[in-house]
């Protein structure tokens, strides 16, 4: 099996090739087995992919993702050669040692760490662009639910916010601010070369999203690279303006079989639960409002009120557990990495549940010296129990807030108490079956061919198939189900996309002139279909399939899009001192209007490695590089399929079909264009013991896709036009320092901070968005600006709220005196990670922070209603003005003080926070002990997440955004599940 | 062997790559059609006409919103729920951002644009018979007239009562935005004149009464009868058209008042919109309690309920029910589960009341004729004649007609407009009781018209706001 005959391939199919991993390679016959871990001498990080060879032989291997290697040598005189790009090669004679751990020192003269870039890899030393990479220990030692979570607080300038604390919910990632208003500001995700379809594919539950990225098993990930400036991203053309996230998963290597098993499990609890009034307080407040309004008191005996703690009935202790098994290895011809994982999370509110089972097979086959094949194939099944929440009157958490505490859960006859239009939260949590199943297959097959030693070709085909099935049944004890004898909904959505790519890469050095040229082409097509069926009037709750429903409706819909691209890149450097990268991509998209079918996206990056100059002789500065880039990228994410066309859609009248106008034509429709300038400095001190990366950038986006309000007298409200302009300017600083570097004790601190200033430069017309229009969009203010009546206080004499007279006409007017009172963008944000390795112990402490953003506590708008509603109150209502002299921000409870049109700014709160996101303490068995047990490596660890948060925000969680489905909103808590405090224990064992 | 393998793989990869490149860019919509290819023969013209009715029955227009707006801003209905925008209309505190007002404005114009498309695109077709064209165009003109009429009375007002500017007139279809897409407001009567002209076109093109779910000559005349109550106050014409509708077709007042709502397409209905379980109206949803699938956001004012309950024999007073969750009464004319009640826009009873009013108000009043019409409506409802009960003078008769209108048409969205046009709004809408607050009053004359949506003002600099909302 060792030399799998090539001729056999000719007759076998690709499918057979995919299953070649079942052939376990034969281990070469040698006498002494040596193993160990290769690490970096600067920061102790393990070095995956380092070469270990036996001097004078062809025997050799490379280290795995944990820096581990194992090989056999003939005798004790054998010399092992450890080499890795960018590090000084070390030779060590075996002698009587059987475990040889090596710390390689960086080769200061070369400094050629390799990073992943678009369509390839590149030496860090000659990079001209702004790239942040998260890899190694930062990923390996942190249990996270979602791949995107790995970036939170760890990559400068990358802002990760969660839509809610519900398991499997979406994360929103913004790289260098928001460069689109109505379009998508999600970055482009590429997993092992496959562009991944992201977005929200689930039913709307009031704004919460389900993460399309949750299909990736985080245990499979080796590195996540974030491309930020135009020099790095423009190779992705019309999809690159929001940045690009490249994810690499583990691959096999030429080394013996290695089996790795990991697990963790733990419990979760909400970091905060709603602070609501009790039954007596509720009745007392309602009475007070009635008295203040001169009306009869509704509750004569508030002391005797029923008290139902609705929150307590919904919040619970959640649990989390994860199993991960992987095998990897290979020989010279075939390398394999096969993994499977299972994740199970019971949410902190009923009935949320998230389960994921994932499998992956990554294969590499060197068919001949010049020809190789590879595959990356993953299949994931995930299951969610969902609940409506956020902006949804049938929601569970909304019910917790709206249901008055003086109502019992059940009526004497055992049925649920119902109140107004809201769902009884207990019924919403227990009587609604709402689940979502996602099956996703992503397969990539590629072949590489070496035409000459300088010229390489690669062709790759990928297929991304996602099947989303959702079912919901409201039984007859729910408000939604009762009136129609049960209602059911079933949807099936299929999203398919394929990508084909070819690239040619030419690498040549002539004297001190080093060239690396790439050209390529890419085709991508996507097809989406959704079928929905609904049923009402069920014979009983025993029937839950729509077949049994007396009233049935169904519909189906679909869209498609295509993208064709050509791209090229030339990297040149002279003597590794003067660096240049030229990139261009041309994209044609089916979404663009007929007058703008092709877009061109060029960029240039220049660098000067000052520390490489002969005149530079500051020994303590190991690297000093200045780089600058400028380029143009596009964003086609905001253009819907067929958006450029004038459309009519189907409709009906009576039982006859009809057509109605739907959309104005815009043949000029095109991508959003972002011009980005970046200037950066890379500094390495004391032999790279301290590294500093600083970037300043300025992005200006034109042709923003905006649903420009058009006069409704045309019959349409909006036309999507390339109209607006937006700017983002910011700075990023990342510092990593090996504070202590001893054999037995290593302490590394990494810190990053970034600030972004966003400004709307041009807009067709001001507009407000979201439920009760809290956001204002107009020129000259940042996105996500809150538009409120600025509340100055409460008149201590009368208890009436005092609002600023914005237009200065002497009176406060509800129509004309609204103003901008802040925005949801942080002034700066980032993270601080401290990692300490002490003998067999490892400790990492990760703090995440966000300063200067406002968070809208929209729950207060509805639960500080001052008696204008008969719904529940937040405890903050108790701070109301009661008698002359009271100084408070919460007005006297009268109808006038809480009238419907008021948007008091007291609900816009300081959203700054520092959160202890993760603390992990691990212990690895000493090699001597684990060797005796027949294992290579064993580690046990304890992790705590979200252990504390320092914030002035009065809501449950300053980190959530209830409205993740709406790109125009951010920083709203609105009946949103908060994050969980998590305690976990985990093991990792490698055989 | 190796060379063969390599070469074949290379050829396959390159060839397959370029073979598929050609068609990824030509993606056709699958659930929509291009506006260039939507009306091109008889069938597609008919289907676009169905779409025009569909626009009219949208929830933002006759599918609920306009009916709620017309009553909640009057003394018939009140907001008892959480929906601020109806509450603002109920309490006369509405502002330029009122979503429901905006939705109505937008949907009425969407209806107009659809009518404009039909009016522009059907006549040039040479594969459609003249007869069919006339039918299609006649219905389109009628619906355009109705939409302009509704817009103009809500946002323009009534000349001589309140208001001077009408709503912008757009008579050509809009497919892309051009410099002509930014109209300004003509005079109030210019807009009403367009309504008149469209209705007269419809009368030219249509004949007979047809089924009430389609626009007909009779419907056009019925709307003309209503139009002249607002426009020019030409009571002779009101009476003329009302009489034509009453006499020239086969309409009848149904014995059983409720059956006009329970049954569909009855002889008492001149124009109604067809709703089905898959194409529902919202009106029931806004009024009915949650236990019956509604939202209980809107209910009847207790004073109006008291009025109904004081009329023991009045058949019409029976069409209400009590919501013990909120403790209010709600109307039940539109009560079918899943909102499939047809919504009635014009019916014969209104023609009698229009004629009664015209006969009272015209230059040489015919009070007996007016009372006779009024009593026809009362008798049908199970009530005795008004004669001799203090209803003698023109003023008293007009009061009686107004009262009869309020009871006859509650939940149908007439009341606000009738109060405004008869100059009663400021006096009647005074100290109206509310479930959730003290009494409310319409204190500002300028609020007799609704605010032009701020969105529209922002999008079209040529549009002027109504003065109360500046």
- ipTM for the predicted complex: 0.91
Query: From CA A965, how far away is CA A770, in angstroms rounded?
Result: 11
Tell me whether residues B27 and A641 touch, CB distance under 8 A.
yes
The rounded percent of chain A whose pLDDT value lies above 90 is 48
- Per-residue pLDDT at A771: 82
Mutate to test the interface with B, among A372, A521, A590, A654 (most CBs of B within 10 A): A654
* Among A554, A655, A659, A770, the residue to mutate for chain B (most B Cβ within 10 A): A659
pTM, full prediction = 0.79
Using the structure block, give the residue that is written with the tokens 């969902």.
Answer: A386
Which one of A6, A656, A662 has the shortest CB-CB distance to B32?
A662
Q: What is the pLDDT of residues A390-442, one digit of tens each?
A: 777 778 899 999 999 999 999 999 999 988 888 899 998 999 888 889 899 99
Whole-number pLDDT of residue A127: 83
Question: With the CA atoms of B411, B413, B418 and B419 taken in that order, what torsion angle do they form, in degrees rounded to the nearest 10?
Answer: 70
> In whole angstroms, what is the distance from residue A285 CA to residue A790 CA?
25
Residue-wise pLDDT for A462-511, tens only, equals 999 999 999 989 888 888 888 889 999 999 999 999 999 999 999 888 88
Better pLDDT: A46 or A265: A265
Residue-wise pLDDT for A178-189, tens only, equals 888 877 778 888
Neighbours of A924 (CB within 10 A): 18
Nearest alpha carbon to residue A504 among A567, A559, A596, A550: A567
As given in the structure block, the two tokens for residue A91 are: 């030779």
Listed as ranges, residues in chain B with pLDDT below 50 are 1-3
Average pLDDT value for residue range A343-351: 90
Strands (E), A592-689: 598-609, 621-635, 647-653, 656-663, 672-685
Across the interface, do A536 and B338 touch by the CB < 8 Å criterion?
Answer: yes
A648 contacts B35? CB cut-off 8 A? yes
Between residues A812 and A172, the one the model is more confident about: A812
**Burial degree of B37 (CB within 10 A; 0-12, 13-18, 19+):** exposed
Cβ–Cβ gap A420/B296 under 8 Å: yes
Q: Is the pLDDT of residue A25 over 50?
A: no
Q: How many CB atoms lie within 10 A of CB B28?
A: 12
Give the closest-approach CA distance of A491 to chain B in angstroms.
17
Closest Cβ opposite residue B112 in set A653, A654, A715: A715
User: Looking at residue A30, what is its pLDDT?
Assistant: 46
Mean pLDDT computed over A140-148: 70
d(CA A211, CA A628): 35
Q: How confident is the model at residue A12 (pLDDT cuts 50, 70, 90)?
A: very low
CB A642 within 8 A of CB B32: yes
Residues of A in contact with B72 (CB under 8 A): none
Question: B-chain residues within 8 Å CB-CB of A868?
Answer: 436
Q: How far apart are CA A797 and CA A437, in angstroms?
A: 58
Query: A interface mutation test: which of B18, B25, B120 has the most A CBs within 10 A?
Result: B25
First to last CA, chain A: 23
Rounded to a whole number, what is the distance in Å from the CA of A162 to chain B's nearest CA? 29
Give the start-end residues of each E strand in A331-411.
Answer: 334-346, 353-366, 371-385
Which residue, among A525, A564, A661, would best test binding to B if mutated, counting the most B CBs under 10 Å from its CB? Answer: A661
Q: Do A665 and B213 touch (CB under 8 A)?
A: no
- Determine whether the interchain pair B110/A597 forms a contact, defined as Cβ–Cβ distance below 8 Å: no
Please give the backbone phi and psi of residue A396, each rounded to the nearest 5 degrees, phi first. Answer: -75, -55
Mutate to test the interface with A, among B12, B24, B296, B464 (most CBs of A within 10 A): B24
Long-range contacts from B404-407, C-beta under 8 angstroms, 24+ separation: B404/B353, B404/B374, B404/B377, B404/B378, B405/B353, B406/B75, B406/B76, B406/B304, B406/B307, B407/B307, B407/B308, B407/B311, B407/B314, B407/B316, B407/B317, B407/B381
Nearest chain B residue to A550 by CA: give it: B277
Q: Chain B closest CA to A490's CA: distance in Å?
A: 17
For residue A507, what are the β-bridge partners? A516
Query: Which residues from chain B sit within 8 angstroms of residue A767, using beta carbons?
Result: 455, 458
CB within 8 Å: B17 and A500: yes
Helix or strand or coil: residue B130? helix
Residue predicted with more confidence, B363 or A21: B363
* pLDDT mean across residues, chain A: 86
Taking Cα atoms as reference points, which of A658, A654, A649 lies closest to residue B279?
A654
A603-654 residue pLDDT tens = 999 999 998 888 988 888 988 999 999 999 999 887 888 888 899 999 999 8
Residue B10: per-residue pLDDT: 61
Nearest CA in chain A to B462: A711
Instruction: Report the b/e string of B324-346 with b at 16+ CB within 10 A.
Output: eebebbbbbbbbebbbbbbbbbb
Nearest by CB: A10 against B1, B14, B44: B1
Is B93's CB within 8 Å of A899's CB? yes
Quick one: average pLDDT of A164-181? 79
Say whether pLDDT at A814 is over 90. no
CA distance A245 to A242: 10
Task: Output the pLDDT for position B437.
Answer: 85
Q: Indicate the angle between helix axes B235-248 and B217-230, nearest 10 degrees.
A: 160
In this complex, the residue of B52, B109, B114 whose CB is nearest that of residue A712 is B109
Q: Tell me: the pLDDT tens digits for A533-578?
A: 999 999 988 888 899 999 888 988 888 999 999 999 999 999 889 9
Smallest CA–CA distance from B293 into chain A, residue? A483
> Is A766 in Cβ contact with B458 (below 8 Å)?
yes
- Residue B277 has its nearest CB partner, among A449, A551, A665, at A551
Yes or no: say if A666 and A719 are a contact pair by the CB < 8 Å rule: yes
Burial of B252: CB neighbours in 10 Å, binned 0-12, 13-18, 19+ = exposed
pLDDT at A8: 37
Note if the bond before A351 is cis, omega within 30 degrees. Answer: yes
User: CB distance A657–B30 less than 8 Å?
Assistant: no
């Amino acid at each position: 099996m060792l030399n799998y005959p090539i001729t056999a391939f000719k007759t076998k199919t690709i499918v057979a090739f995919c299953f070649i991993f079942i052939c376990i390679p034969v281990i070469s016959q040698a006498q002494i087995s040596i193993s160990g871990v290769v690490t970096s001498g600067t920061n102790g990080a393990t070095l995956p992919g380092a070469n270990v060879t036996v001097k004078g032989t062809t025997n050799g291997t490379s280290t795995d993702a944990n820096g581990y290697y194992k090989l056999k040598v003939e005798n004790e005189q054998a010399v092992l050669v450890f080499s890795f790009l960018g590090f000084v090669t070390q030779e060590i004679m075996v002698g009587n040692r059987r475990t040889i751990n090596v710390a390689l020192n960086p080769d200061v003269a070369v400094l050629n760490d390799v990073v992943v870039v678009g369509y390839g890899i590149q030496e860090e030393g000659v990079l001209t662009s702004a790239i942040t990479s998260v890899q190694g220990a930062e990923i390996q030692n942190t249990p996270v639910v979602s791949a995107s979570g790995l970036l939170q607080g760890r990559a400068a300038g990358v802002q990760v916010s969660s839509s809610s604390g519900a398991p499997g919910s979406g994360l929103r990632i913004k790289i260098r601010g928001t460069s689109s208003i109505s379009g998508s500001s999600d970055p482009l995700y590429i997993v092992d070369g496959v562009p991944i379809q992201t977005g929200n594919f689930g039913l709307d539950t009031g704004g919460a999203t389900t993460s399309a990225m949750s299909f990736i098993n985080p245990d499979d990930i080796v590195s996540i690279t974030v491309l930020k400036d135009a020099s790095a991203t423009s190779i992705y053309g019309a999809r690159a303006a929001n940045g690009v996230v490249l994810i690499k998963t583990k691959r096999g290597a030429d080394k013996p079989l290695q089996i790795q098993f990991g697990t963790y499990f733990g419990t979760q609890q909400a970091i905060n639960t709603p602070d609501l009034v009790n039954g007596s307080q509720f009745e007392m407040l309602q009475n007070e409002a009635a008295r203040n309004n001169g009306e009869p008191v509704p509750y004569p005996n508030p002391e005797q009120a029923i008290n139902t703690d609705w929150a307590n009935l919904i919040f619970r202790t959640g649990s989390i557990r994860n199993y991960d098994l992987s095998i990897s290895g290979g020989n010279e011809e075939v390398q394999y990495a096969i993994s499977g994982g299972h994740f199970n999370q019971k949410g902190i509110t009923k009935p949320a549940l998230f389960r994921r089972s994932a499998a992956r097979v990554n294969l590499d086959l060197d068919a001949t010296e010049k020809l190789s094949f590879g595959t990356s194939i993953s299949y994931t099944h995930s299951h969610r129990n969902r609940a409506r929440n956020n902006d949804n009157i049938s929601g569970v958490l909304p019910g917790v807030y709206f249901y008055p505490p003086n109502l019992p859960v059940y009526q004497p006859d055992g049925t649920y108490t119902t109140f107004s239009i809201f769902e009884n939260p207990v019924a919403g949590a227990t009587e609604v079956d709402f689940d979502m199943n996602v099956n996703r297959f992503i397969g990539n097959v590629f072949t590489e061919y070496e035409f000459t030693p300088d010229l390489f070709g690669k062709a790759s085909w990928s297929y991304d198939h996602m099947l989303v099935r959702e079912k919901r049944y409201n039984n007859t004890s729910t408000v939604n189900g009762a009136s129609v004898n049960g209602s059911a909904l079933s949807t099936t959505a299929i999203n398919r996309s394929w990508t084909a790519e070819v690239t040619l890469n030419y690498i040549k050095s002539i004297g001190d002139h080093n060239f690396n040229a790439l050209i390529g082409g890419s085709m991508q097509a996507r097809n989406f279909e959704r079928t929905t069926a609904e049923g009402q009037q069920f014979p009983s709750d025993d029937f839950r399939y729509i077949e049994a429903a007396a009233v049935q409706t169904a519909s189906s819909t679909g869209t498609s899009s295509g993208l064709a691209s050509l791209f090229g890149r030339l990297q040149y450097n002279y003597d590794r001192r003067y660096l240049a990268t030229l990139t261009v991509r041309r994209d044609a998209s089916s979404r663009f209007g007929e007058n703008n079918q092709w877009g061109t996206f060029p960029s240039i990056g220049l660098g000067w490695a000052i520390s490489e100059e002969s005149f530079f002789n500051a020994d303590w500065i190991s690297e000093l590089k200045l780089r600058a880039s400028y380029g143009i990228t596009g964003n086609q994410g905001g253009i819907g399929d067929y958006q450029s066309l004038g459309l009519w859609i189907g409709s009906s009248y009576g039982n006859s079909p009809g057509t109605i106008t739907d959309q104005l034509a815009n043949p000029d429709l095109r991508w959003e264009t972002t011009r980005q300038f970046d200037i950066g400095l890379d500094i390495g001190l004391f032999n790279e013991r301290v590294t500093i990366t600083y970037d300043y950038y300025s992005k200006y986006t034109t042709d923003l896709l905006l649903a420009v309000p058009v006069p409704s007298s045309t019959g349409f409200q909006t036309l999507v036009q390339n109209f607006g302009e937006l700017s983002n300017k910011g700075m990023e600083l990342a510092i990593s320092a090996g504070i202590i570097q001893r054999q037995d004790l290593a302490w590394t601190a990494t810190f990053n901070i970034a600030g972004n200033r966003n400004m709307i430069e041009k807009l067709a017309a001001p507009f407000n968005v979201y439920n009760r229009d809290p956001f204002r969009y107009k020129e000259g203010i940042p996105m996500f600006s809150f538009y409120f009546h600025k509340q100055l206080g409460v008149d201590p004499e009368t208890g009436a709220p005092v609002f600023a007279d914005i237009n200065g006409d002497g009176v406060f007017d509800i129509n004309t005196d609204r103003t901008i009172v802040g925005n949801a963008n942080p002034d700066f944000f980032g993270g601080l990670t401290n990692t300490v390795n002490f003998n067999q112990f490892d400790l990492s402490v990760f703090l995440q922070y966000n300063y200067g953003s406002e968070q809208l506590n929209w729950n207060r708008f509805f639960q500080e209603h001052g008696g204008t509603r008969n719904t529940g109150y937040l405890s903050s209502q108790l701070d109301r003005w009661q008698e002359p002299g009271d100084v408070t921000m919460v007005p006297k409870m009268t109808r006038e003080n809480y009238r419907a049109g008021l948007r008091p700014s007291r609900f816009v709160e300081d959203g700054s926070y520092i959160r202890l996101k993760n603390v992990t303490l691990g212990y690895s068995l000493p090699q001597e002990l684990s060797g005796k047990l027949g294992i290579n490596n064993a580690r046990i660890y304890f992790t705590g997440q979200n252990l504390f948060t320092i914030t002035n925000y009065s809501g449950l969680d300053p980190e959530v955004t209830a409205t993740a489905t709406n790109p125009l909103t951010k920083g709203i808590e609105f009946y949103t599940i908060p994050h969980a405090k998590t305690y976990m224990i985990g093991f990792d064992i490698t055989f | 062997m190796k060379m063969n393998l390599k070469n074949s793989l290379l050829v396959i990869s390159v060839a397959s790559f370029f073979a598929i490149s050609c068609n990824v860019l030509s993606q056709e919509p699958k659930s929509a059609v291009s506006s260039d290819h939507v009306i091109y023969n008889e069938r597609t013209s008919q289907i676009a006409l169905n779409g025009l009715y569909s626009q009219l029955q949208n929830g933002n227009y006759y599918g609920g919103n306009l009916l709620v707006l017309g009553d909640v801003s009057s003394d018939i209905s009140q907001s008892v729920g959480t929906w601020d925008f109806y509450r603002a209309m109920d309490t006369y505190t509405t502002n330029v951002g009122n979503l429901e007002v905006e939705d109505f404005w937008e949907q009425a114009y969407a209806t107009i644009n659809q009518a404009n498309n039909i009016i522009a695109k059907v006549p040039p077709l040479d594969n459609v018979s003249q007869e069919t064209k006339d039918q299609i165009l006649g219905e389109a003109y009628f619906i355009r007239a109705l939409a302009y009429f509704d817009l103009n009375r809500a946002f323009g007002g009534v000349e001589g009562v309140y208001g001077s500017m009408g709503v912008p007139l757009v008579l050509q279809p809009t497919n892309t935005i051009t410099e002509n897409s930014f109209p300004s407001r003509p005079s109030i009567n210019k807009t009403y004149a367009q309504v008149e002209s469209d209705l007269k076109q419809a009368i030219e093109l249509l004949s007979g009464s047809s089924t009430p779910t389609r626009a007909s000559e009779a419907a056009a005349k019925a709307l003309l009868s209503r139009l002249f109550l607002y426009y020019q106050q030409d009571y002779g014409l009101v009476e003329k058209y009302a009489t034509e509708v009453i006499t020239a077709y086969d309409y009848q007042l149904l014995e059983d008042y409720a059956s006009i709502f329970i049954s569909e397409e009855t002889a008492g209905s001149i124009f109604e919109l067809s709703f089905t379980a898959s194409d529902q109206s919202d009106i029931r949803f806004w009024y009915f309690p949650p236990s019956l699938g509604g939202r209980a956001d809107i209910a009847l004012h207790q004073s109006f309920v008291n009025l109904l309950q004081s009329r023991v024999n009045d058949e019409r007073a029976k069409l209400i029910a009590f919501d013990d969750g909120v403790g209010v009464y709600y109307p039940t004319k539109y009560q079918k589960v899943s909102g499939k009640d047809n919504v009635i826009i014009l019916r014969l009873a209104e023609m009698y009341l229009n004629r009664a009013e015209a006969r009272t108000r015209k230059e040489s009043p015919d009070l007996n004729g007016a009372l006779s019409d009024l009593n026809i409506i009362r008798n049908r409802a199970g009530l005795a004649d008004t004669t001799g009960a203090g209803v003698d003078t023109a003023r008293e008769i007009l009061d009686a007609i107004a009262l009869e209108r309020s009871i006859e048409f509650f939940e149908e969205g007439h009341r606000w407009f009738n109060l405004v046009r008869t100059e009663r709004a400021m006096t009647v809408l005074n100290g109206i009781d509310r479930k959730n607050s003290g009494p409310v009053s319409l204190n500002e004359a300028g609020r007799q018209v609704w605010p032009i949506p701020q969105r529209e003002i922002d999008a079209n600099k040529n549009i002027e706001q109504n003065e109360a909302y500046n």
